Amino acid sequence: MSKVATPFVRNTASIGGNIILAQKYPFPSDIATILLGVASTVRLQVYSKTLEVTLEEFLELPPSDPSTLLLSIFIPHWASDSQKESKVIFETYRAAPRPLGNAVSYINSAMLGHVSQKSCGDLVLSNLHMAFGAYGTEHAIRATKVEQHLNGKVLTPSVVLEAVRLLRETIVPMKGTSHPEYRVSVAVGFLFSFLSPFAKGIKGPGNTLSISSASSSNTDDPCNLPLSSRRETISSDDHKPVGEPIKKGGSICR
């Protein structure tokens, strides 16, 4: 949430207004994707009727008119289950020209699931919710085929590869979207970053986790990411004083 817009915008705007914009227009909302990823529901007042629908259903409805009033947004309480020895994992991702500020996302994602450990020691994911938005689509969507494919399976390389294939079929930017190939590749990167800590025989960002450490995982920690590119800048005094700050002459007199 701290990466959405700026403090001034966050203090002025409202979550309800953001959701309505995301429903009425092709608005690249980060908030809608986050709420969709946690299976939120909304309460609506339409004339004299009160409706309660999932956020996914609300986003697919025809654009709201002045007779529709958004009353509330409900976020379920996702808790770990000590009896089943499962932990809740929730991660959000965002790619933009600038990581902070008013830059609109190229793509965003929110992924939630329960991770549990089988008797053989392998980790499996269940109750998955994977939302993607702002990639050149009318509104955020859930990657249901990917969720169904991964639920309850040990994450072997072949399983992850099939999940990537299904995601590429799901994330299809609209015609005229800038950098469509980049957006799809970033979506695949988000998926791999989420799955790799729990995968078997796959070396990726983050460390392989056990069930005891899964709840405290942080796959966004830059210290855990592999080195994918490098730039070295060597400074010299060959062109000195070019490039050095120059004191304004009038400021001395003041």
pLDDT in tens, 24-47: 998 999 999 999 999 999 999 998
Element (H, E) at 97: none
Helical axes 180-195 vs 157-170, angle rounded to 10°: 150
Calculate ∠ Cα 127-129-133, nearest 5°.
Answer: 175
Q: Provide the pLDDT confidence category of residue 223 given band limits of 50, 70 and 90.
A: very low
Classify residue 230 as exposed, middle or buried by CB count within 10 Å of its CB (0-12, 13-18, 19+): exposed
Closest listed residue to residue 117, CA positions, set 84, 146, 161: 84
Which residue intervals of the chain bear CATH 3.30.465.10? 7-74
Question: Would you state the pLDDT for residue 83?
Answer: 62
Write the class of the CATH domain 7-74: alpha beta
CB 139 within 8 A of CB 133: yes
CB 7 within 8 A of CB 20: no
Q: Which residues pair with 125 in a beta bridge?
A: 115
37-40 long-range contacts, CB within 8 A, separation 24+: 37/90, 37/92, 37/109, 37/110, 37/111, 37/112, 37/129, 37/130, 37/131, 38/75, 38/76, 38/78, 38/90, 38/110, 38/112, 38/129, 39/76, 39/112, 39/129, 40/73, 40/74, 40/75, 40/76
Closest listed residue to residue 35, CA positions, set 6, 76, 70: 76
pLDDT: which is higher, 234 or 62 = 62
Lowest mean pLDDT among 51-55, 97-101, 209-213: 209-213
CB contact burial 168-181 (16+ within 10 A = b; e otherwise): eebbebeeeeeebe
Q: Please, what is the average pLDDT of the chain?
A: 83
CB 63 within 8 A of CB 90: no
Question: Would you state the pLDDT for residue 6?
Answer: 76
Question: Would you state the pLDDT for residue 207?
Answer: 46
Question: Would you state the pLDDT for residue 150?
Answer: 96
Closest listed residue to residue 107, CA positions, set 28, 38, 170: 28
Q: Is the pLDDT of residue 15 over 70?
A: yes
Average pLDDT over residues 76-100: 82
Average pLDDT over residues 144-156: 94
Which residue intervals of the chain bear CATH 3.30.390.50? 86-217
Average pLDDT over residues 158-176: 95
Q: What is the DSSP letter of 194?
A: H
Catalogue the E-assigned strands of 60-122.
68-74, 86-95, 107-117
* CATH architecture of structural domain 86-217: 2-Layer Sandwich (3.30)
Q: Provide the pLDDT confidence category of residue 199 given band limits of 50, 70 and 90.
A: confident
Average pLDDT over residues 228-249: 65
Closest listed residue to residue 165, CA positions, set 180, 183, 187: 187
Alpha carbon distance 23, 175 (integer Å):
20
Q: Provide the pLDDT confidence category of residue 222 given band limits of 50, 70 and 90.
A: very low
CB 135 within 8 A of CB 107: yes
Average pLDDT over residues 112-131: 89
| Maximum alpha-carbon separation in the chain | 78
Q: What percent of the chain has pLDDT over 90?
A: 56
Q: What is the DSSP letter of 224?
A: G
CB 72 within 8 A of CB 43: yes
